[in-house]
Amino acid sequence: MEKIAIITDSCSDIKKEYRELYDIHVLPIQIQYDGKSYRDGVDITSTDIYAIQDEKVIKTSSPVGEDLFNLLDQLKDKGYTHVIGLFLSSGISGTGNQMRLFCQTYEKLKCYIVDSQSASVGLGVIAVSLAKYREEGKSFDELIEIADFLCYQNYAYFSIDDLNYLQKGGRIGKASAFLGTTLKIKPILSFEKENGEIYVPAKVRGSKKVKSKLIDLIESHLEENPHQKFALAIADANNLEERNILEGMLKERFPQFTYIIDGHVGAALSCYLGSGLLGVAIQFLPE
């Protein structure tokens, strides 16, 4: 009988309550500065990052193989037979590819690794949605097909206050960083479906228009898929008040959503996004 584990990385920003409720296992991204290494969400938090990121040179790297192999051994001991791994977009990270290579050397479990082409709660809602289908008794092969659908039919959008961190981390072009910081135009970031890289589908002038633009972007996808079931996800980085307002707007504008999850941006993504982020994702669900 199949017993299927779902693994993701800490850039999914899945809250502890969702991890426990849906039996989702999270590998911590590594964060390095001052010659030391820390595990996202274990040894270091986003608050720690905010306090040092203007003075320190901070780098991130994929979860270490030891953590993955230890987790796989634990899963095997608990009776799991299969694993589906959902990881940060390959357009900004090599985590998924590295996990794929590690899993190829582990023969005790049958593993399938998915490139989410997303991040933060965009990735988190994929993992939660897949876990819900697993609860319905879907087989490993069925869940693989569903996982691929979820990743392709997932659209996440994020507005941030300071693009310099993304620029220094090599995640966005210099021109976009100059545009946002110099002209006070706030870009809305998302992920290209072709390669999972960050791009700018929209811009607004000033913070007050951000929430409305995020709502409009979600609505544009619903206009293209008017009869499809969907879930929503919402994220913030040290911006709880605005996040709560945005959540109320989402629920009022799209009351037909199947479910909604929320999350706070963790330490690893905070290295590139800073504080002040607002994000939203729509996840279309297979029938």
Buried residues in 136-169 as b, exposed as e (16+ CB within 10 A): eebebeebbebbebbbebbbbbbbbbbbbbbbee
In this prediction, residue 168 carries a pLDDT of 78
| Residues lower than pLDDT 50 in the chain | none
pLDDT, one tens digit per residue, over 174-192 is 557 666 666 678 888 999 9
| DSSP code for 89 | -
Share of the chain above pLDDT 70, in %: 96
- Whole-number pLDDT of residue 186: 84
* Helix, strand counts (H, E) of the chain: 11, 13
What pLDDT does residue 29 have?
95
Residue 162 has a pLDDT of: 75
Q: For the whole model, what pTM was predicted? A: 0.95
pLDDT at 203: 87
pLDDT at residue number 169: 74
Please name the helix (run of DSSP H) or strand (run of DSSP E) that holds residue 225, with its range, or none.
Answer: none
Looking at residue 170, its pLDDT comes to: 72
pLDDT digits (tens, 9 = 90+) for 75-108: 999 999 999 999 999 988 889 998 999 988 999 9
Tell me the per-residue pLDDT of 110-123, one tens digit each, with 9 for 90 and over: 999 999 999 999 99
Domains recognised in the chain with CATH numbers: 4-152 (3.40.50.10170), 154-284 (3.30.1180.10)
